[in-house]
Amino acid sequence: MFHILAADGIANEGIELLKENFDVQVRDKISHEELLEIIPTFDALIVRSASKVTADVLERGVNLKIIGRAGVGVDNIDVPAATARGIIVINSPDGNTIAATEHTFAMMLAVSRNIPQANQVMHAGGWDRKKFVGVELRNKTLGIIGLGKIGAGVAKRAQSFDMNVIAYDPFVSEERAKSLGVKLTELNELFATSDYITVHMPLTNKTRDMIALPQMKTMKPTVRLINCARGGIINEKNLATALTEKIIAGAAIDVFDGEPLAEDSPLRNLPNVILTPHLGASTVEAQIGVSVDVAKGIIDALNNRPVATAVNLPHIPSHVLEKLAPYLDLAERLGRTIMGLSREPISNVQVKINGTIADVNSSFISTAVLKGILSAALDNVNLVNANLLATERGIHLSEVKSSSTRDFANLVTVSANKNVVTGTLFGNEGRIVEINNFRVDVDPHARILICPHINRPGVIGMVGTLLAKHKINISGMNVGKTAIEGTSLMVLTVDNPIPQEVLHEMKTLDPIFDVTPVAYEDAR
């Protein structure tokens, strides 16, 4: 019989479901040292946010087959280490969506009507109506950063309050936004025009400190910020400064960069900020929902059934993996390239698979393309969640397969936003062999610059001289031609990141039509 450890206070409904199938030990409060001591005897572990499933826990968990996070975020689980050990990590992406959505709106209303402050005065025996005059949501502009499930839920509720809703999400198409009744906008415009700004993005290297003092200074002095997503997206020290100096009017914060929030945090002493101790998912219904979701996932996994909510790589049969593995890497890099070439949000992606690989289950190849597209701006995208993340952002995937091909035994072609990129394998090494009808031979395993240009003498030297001036080394070059007379495509492999000012300088060169940098270093 399998043995399961349920830590951190998992709702009883999920525990009872597991007890019908397995031996379950419940430890609502457990120290890291205790976890290290007892984990070797368990096949599965369920946690919320308190327990840290670190590499040392995984090393001692010699029998662990699956870890369930009763909630959405898996920040407290070392997912790469789990994956390396073949341990499935699952979460509950939907169980607390409504709870987080409603808490966001509760915070928005509370910061508008000074409800917590008025309540505190009333309990102290006071009565001061003038001090707590608030503002209405009606006819105000709500800026939503991130239009996933929670962001979309907030948008729906805001419209019932007669709010004007705008949003920023680099992966949401105009079609998807229109269906939600939301106008897409650039981030700077959202900052400048919103009366309320609410964050619904994951915490990544790209979103950390997304809203800091420079951004707050571009906002209306009447704006109110809400964060029920992840601590660290709004810089807390800068927020305290902006609230103190009345750069912005107010804030309502449920999540913090370090939790629990430090006792000496300057936010605790400010009257124009509302603080809650990470309550976004803390409803009875949500706790039951995530508990049952994770329990069902563990039951499926321990019975060798697929788990829909896995956040790391699923098991791929060895005979399929042997054939597909190098194509998965190529497909991800093709996706990264097509994203780099796109100048607007991607809403439709077509993947054409030609050759012998079309005869096997090649859906992983299409998923790897989506992973490459999404990884250009999001962290923690994998072959399991790429399709879900794409669907949430209104990206539609179509796949065309054919055993016939041209010139090469196998080809993978990705099309989006009128751009087309084709790749194949030379041995087990991926190569890009065509970009927008230009025949090329490009190794997509470093950094490249894609530069369509006028086909005339001196262009390559002009670009090389410019990069050399800025100490950027060119380690490879390929020039592709097309049927378009007088036009060529230069693809440079470079060893150094290229600053924006250098890219701008390149674009101003007379023979250059455009410059597209694509980085592959972190593609996996």
Counting DSSP H helices and E strands in the chain, the numbers are 17, 22
The verdict on whether 27 is a catalytic residue reads: no
Q: 316-436: what CATH class?
A: alpha beta
Decide: helix, strand or coil at residue 230. Answer: coil
Give the pLDDT score at 311.
85
pLDDT of 64 strictly over 90: yes
Structure tokens belonging to residue 428: 């087990």
113-169 pLDDT, tens digit per residue, is 999 999 999 999 999 999 999 999 999 999 999 999 899 999 999 999 999 999 999
Domain with CATH 3.40.50.720 in the chain: 3-93+285-302, 97-275
Q: What is the mean pLDDT of residues 291-319?
A: 79
Q: For residue 357, give the DSSP letter.
A: G
- Topology of the domain comprising 97-275: Rossmann fold (3.40.50)
Evaluate whether 446 touches 493 at the Cβ level (below 8 Å): yes
What's the sign of the alpha-carbon dihedral 438, 439, 445, 447? Answer: negative
Evaluate whether 69 touches 7 at the Cβ level (below 8 Å): no
Give the pLDDT score at 202.
85
Is residue 96 very low, low, confident or very high in pLDDT (cuts 50, 70, 90)?
confident
Residue type for position 326: P
State the Cα angle at 376 between 334 and 167, rounded to 5°: 130
State the Cα angle at 127 between 124 and 195, rounded to 5°: 100
pLDDT of 314 strictly over 60: no
* Phi, psi (rounded to 5 degrees) for 76: -90, 10
434-472 pLDDT, tens digit per residue, is 999 899 999 887 889 999 999 888 888 999 999 999 999
* Least-confidence region, from 161-175, 353-367, 465-479: 353-367
Length of the chain: 524
Q: Residue written as tokens 């093709």?
A: 334
Give the pLDDT score at 61.
96
257 vs 123: CA distance, rounded Å: 31
Domain with CATH 3.30.1330.90 in the chain: 316-436
Best CA proximity match to 310, nearest among 77, 513, 58, 484: 77
17-60 pLDDT, tens digit per residue, is 999 989 999 999 999 999 999 999 999 999 998 899 999 999 99
Give the pLDDT score at 309.
83
Share above pLDDT 70 across residues of the chain, in percent, rounded to a whole number = 96
Q: Residue written as tokens 């060893």?
A: 495
Omega within 30 of 0 (cis) for the link into 499: no
pLDDT of 85 strictly over 90: no
319-341 pLDDT, tens digit per residue, is 666 677 788 889 999 999 999 99
Q: For residue 28, give the DSSP letter.
A: S
Evaluate whether 503 touches 512 at the Cβ level (below 8 Å): no
Q: How far apart are the first and last CA of the chain?
A: 36
Which of 278, 396, 439, 445 does the annotation list as catalytic? Answer: 278
493 vs 197: CA distance, rounded Å: 40
Omega within 30 of 0 (cis) for the link into 260: yes
Give the pLDDT score at 319.
63
The runs of H, that is alpha helices, within 305-430 are: 318-341, 363-375, 386-392
Q: Where are the beta strands (DSSP E) in 8-112?
A: 23-27, 44-47, 66-69, 88-90
In CATH terms, is domain 3-93+285-302 a member of 2.60.40.10?
Answer: no
Decide: helix, strand or coil at residue 243. Answer: helix
Average pLDDT, the chain: 91
173-230 pLDDT, tens digit per residue, is 899 999 999 999 999 999 999 999 999 998 888 899 999 999 999 999 999 999 999 9
212 vs 242: CA distance, rounded Å: 9
406 vs 409: CA distance, rounded Å: 8
Question: Rg (Cα) of the chain, in Å, rounded?
Answer: 26
What are the C-alpha distances in Å from 379 to residues 89, 136, 229, 373, 460?
16, 37, 15, 11, 35
Evaluate whether 171 touches 395 at the Cβ level (below 8 Å): yes
What are the C-alpha distances in Å from 274 to residues 104, 113, 114, 474?
12, 11, 9, 53
Give the pLDDT score at 524.
43
Structure tokens belonging to residue 457: 């003498």
- Topology of the domain comprising 445-524: Alpha-Beta Plaits (3.30.70)
For residue 238, how many other CB atoms are within 10 A of its CB? 18
280 vs 338: CA distance, rounded Å: 36
65 vs 304: CA distance, rounded Å: 11
Domain with CATH 3.30.70.260 in the chain: 445-524
The verdict on whether 123 is a catalytic residue reads: no
Give the pLDDT score at 480.
83
Please enumerate in sequence order all residues whose Cβ is within 8 A of that of 306, keeping only pairs 6 or more positions apart, or say none.
Answer: 300, 314
The verdict on whether 230 is a catalytic residue reads: yes
Which of 103, 230, 393, 447 does the annotation list as catalytic? Answer: 230
Q: What is the mean pLDDT of residues 404-420?
A: 90
Q: Which residue has the higher pLDDT, 57 or 309?
A: 57
416 vs 419: CA distance, rounded Å: 5
Count of alpha carbons within 13 angstroms of residue 14, beta-carbon side: 35
231-283 pLDDT, tens digit per residue, is 999 999 999 999 999 999 999 999 999 989 999 999 999 999 999 999 998 99
Give the pLDDT score at 520.
83
Which of 259, 285, 322, 429 does the annotation list as catalytic? Answer: 259
347 vs 417: CA distance, rounded Å: 8
Give the pLDDT score at 343.
87
Q: What is the mean pLDDT of residues 397-406?
A: 88
